[in-house]
Amino acid sequence: MALYVVTMLLTIRYAIKKSKKQSSSPFNFSFNRIQGWLVPVVIITTLALVVGLEGVSNLIPMPVYMQKIFEKAFTKNAFSLVMAIVAAPIIEEMLCRGIILKGLLKNYSPAIAIVVSAIFFGVLHLNPWQAVPAFFGGLFLGWVFYKTQSVIPGMIIHATINSTASLFLFLPKYQQGFFKLLGMQYYMVLCVFAVIVFVGGCMVIQRKVLPMTD
């Protein structure tokens, strides 16, 4: 965990220096204020997204030895929970959206910039079991950043995803996940409901938030 924090902070520091050299304007992470109504909208939309991301992650079976590594790395102690719910969302959003995506948007179309930043976000997780769902989550995170011009919604989204995963740690292993908890039939019903909620949430964001402009 300490190595993760130090590595990420050093990467952010290096990226800031490079950005300052390439631009005469002062660097900022886009901690722009957001409207209050956006907070519950992104949380509800993200919870719907989490249901789908779990289905995506289940498509890639994790070997037993990797499961044991994950069980040791992600525990219920306070330090691990703070890292997952607070530190990781702040640090990763500052890097992936506040620096990388923001820079890409200055040189490429929004679609290309968002996809490239999502790929980077997936690769950042260093394993396919997290990388694939992280890529799809990164698409949503990137789009929301593009729409809101702020890293704050992304931090909320990121914290919501990690909080949901952390809550499942408090359940027995055979119930950790919507699929295991509900079973196939009810999970499919939940997926249909989640798609409706996610699309509805995206429509609200699309209509009420203006896109990023230079």
Domain ranges of the chain: 73-170
Segment 29-35 long-range contacts (CB within 8 Å, at least 24 positions apart): 29/94, 29/98, 29/99, 29/151, 30/97, 30/98, 30/102, 30/145, 30/149, 30/150, 30/151, 31/150, 31/151, 31/152, 32/148, 32/149, 32/150, 32/152, 33/150, 33/152, 34/148, 34/150, 34/152, 34/153
pLDDT at 116: 95
Q: What angle do CA 48, 60, 151 make, to 5 degrees?
A: 45
* 0.75 surpassed by pTM: yes
Size of the chain, expressed as the number of residues it contains: 214
Instruction: Write down the pLDDT at residue 214.
Output: 44
Please report the DSSP string for 88-137 in residue order: HHHHHHHHIIIIIIHHHHHHS-HHHHHHHHHHHHHHTT-SHHHHHHHHHH
Check residue 211 and give its pLDDT.
54
* Residue-level pLDDT, tens digit, the chain, 214 residues: 666 667 777 777 777 777 666 666 666 778 888 989 999 999 999 999 999 998 888 777 777 766 777 767 666 778 878 888 998 899 999 989 998 999 899 889 999 999 999 999 998 887 777 889 999 999 999 999 999 999 999 999 999 999 998 888 777 777 778 888 888 889 999 999 999 999 999 999 999 886 544 4
pLDDT of 159 reads 96
pLDDT the model gives residue 213: 47
pLDDT computed for residue 110 by the predictor: 94
pLDDT on residue 192: 95
pLDDT value, residue 25: 65
Query: Measured between alpha carbons, how far is 137 from 54 in angstroms, rounded to an integer?
Result: 11
Q: Cα dihedral sign for 151, 152, 158, 161?
A: negative
3-state secondary structure of 150: coil
Q: Please, is 89 exposed, middle or buried when counting C-beta atoms within 10 Å of its C-beta (0-12, 13-18, 19+)?
A: buried
